[in-house]
Amino acid sequence: MTDVNEVITRVHREEWARVVAALARRFGDLDIAEDMAAEAFATAVERWPVEGVPPSPGAWLTTTAHRKAVDRLRREVRREEKHREALMLSDTPEPLGAIDDDRLRLVFTCCHPALAMEVRIALTLRLVGGLTVPEIARAFLVQESAMSRRITRAKAKIKAARIPFGVPFRDDLPARLTGVLAVLYLIFNEGYLASGPGTEAVRGDLTAEAIRLTRLVRALMPADGEVAGLLALMLLTEARRAARVSASGELVTLEEQDRGAWDRELIAEGHALVRARLASGQAPGRYQILAAINAVHTDAPDARDTDWSQVVALYDQLLRLDPSPIVRLNRAVAVAELDGPEVALAQVDGLPLEGYHAFHAARAALLRRLGRSAESRAAYDRAIGLAGNTAETAYLIRRRDQLAGAAERLTGG
């Protein structure tokens, strides 16, 4: 029984999106697709422990869900048009070879520009990722009922607007793909930089889901450089996850992390993707440059071995694509290692990031290095007030309190 349950759990992770996507395209209704996929898995939970796992679990689930959808439409006598469509389709199942494309269609449908960004993320997690509404609600720090209403409204909007379950025309693909990658990156960051006071520092379930979905898009669009760049960026970031939080629950900065705890397999895969993009000779996009920056960091056996000149050069390249204040802030942090904290502080001061905790944390660190302890302490206080999770708050408090301890020792207090 336990083995069968483990198989069902694995199959749910691997096949949920396939089943939902096939039904969504066939019946043109996300509610039917989701509900009947759930019923098919419920049937599997009942029958597989008794009858055994079928040779092709995905095909069994798709067929079962399809039959349940047809039965449901037959019962809903008021939906005569869909009833006729279902009868026409019921005896002509499509070959399962198109399912991978269906999954990509579903990702693009969830990420339609008509939907707000947070709704795109939630819908992608629910329909493509198979996360439950309570899990998604926790990730967004909202009530389950509120998240349920958001997802319901999003599906209704897709239905009312008659948004097709299809990949955009080739000319439209770059613009739509940009939105898809942005959603996947936000999902990853929601897990890696879990936001909200009192939250855990890392949500491994969300980072794993974002990587899985990005792998899916890369498998279907292997020639796109930004898809490869985003996957490399996620892998190289995820590789450091085990070293990011200490045993006491405090954030560990990149320079202080135990590099022996980094996942070398993920690093090797990420580096290979970065090298392949460099070898292509094509101008890199934003995700590819961010991945290259992470490759420089993860290539150094020790923080002191980091090639900061290369990091700054890559940020210069990124600034030409994304001249945002946050990119300027990150570049200044790298400049501090190359040209000193005074030069970096001049670049940081004046950035319009007063509400961003990392801005104040960076200022605090630079002021600390310059011996301006009172100003550093004030910047730490501001960063602590804006920090997003307990691990980060604990780190910032310790660093601030170290300043007070140093001042007491100097004055003999």
Mean pLDDT confidence for 63-91:
70
Collapsed DSSP state (helix, strand, coil) of residue 288: helix
pLDDT single digits (tens) 374-390 = 999 999 999 999 987 88
- Tell me how crowded residue 336 is: count the other CB atoms within 10 A of its CB: 21
What CA–CA distance (Å, rounded) separates 252 from 225? 31
**DSSP 8-state assignment for residue 322:** -
pLDDT-wise least confident of 32-46, 142-156, 173-187, 304-318 = 173-187
Based on its alpha-carbon atoms, the radius of gyration of the chain, rounded to whole angstroms, reads 25
Q: Is 413 a residue whose pLDDT tops 50?
A: no
* Helix or strand run (H / E) with residue 195: none
Q: What pLDDT sits at residue 205?
A: 73
Residue matched to tokens 């022996």? 260
Does residue 409 surpass a pLDDT of 90?
A: no
Please give the pLDDT value at position 341.
97
Of 47-56, 74-83, 123-132, 342-351, the poorest mean pLDDT is in: 74-83
Mean pLDDT of the chain, nearest integer: 86
Question: Is residue 44 scored above 90 in pLDDT?
Answer: yes
323 contact partners, CB below 8 Å, separation of at least 6? none
pLDDT value of residue 169: 66
C-beta separation of 183 from 124 below 8 A: yes
The answer to whether residues 190 and 204 touch, using CB atoms and an 8 Å cutoff, is no
Question: Which residues partner with 199 through β-bridges?
Answer: 389
Task: Output the pLDDT for position 28.
Answer: 80
Whether residue 260 is predicted with pLDDT greater than 70 in this model: the reply is yes
Per-residue pLDDT, 348: 97
- Residue 85 confidence (pLDDT): 56
Place of tokens 């760049």: 229
Q: Which residues pair with 245 in a beta bridge?
A: 251
Q: What is the mean pLDDT of residues 312-321?
A: 98
pLDDT class of 369 with cuts at 50, 70, 90: very high
Q: What are 108-127's pLDDT values in tens digits?
A: 888 888 888 888 888 888 88
131: pLDDT confidence band, cut at 50, 70 and 90?
confident
Q: pLDDT, tens digit, for every residue of 151-183?
A: 999 888 888 877 776 666 666 666 678 888 988
How high is the pLDDT of residue 94? 45
pLDDT greater at residue 203 or residue 160: 160
What is the rounded distance in angstroms from the CA atom of residue 229 to the CA atom of residue 236?
A: 11
- Say how many CA atoms lie within 13 Å of 55 toward its Cβ: 0
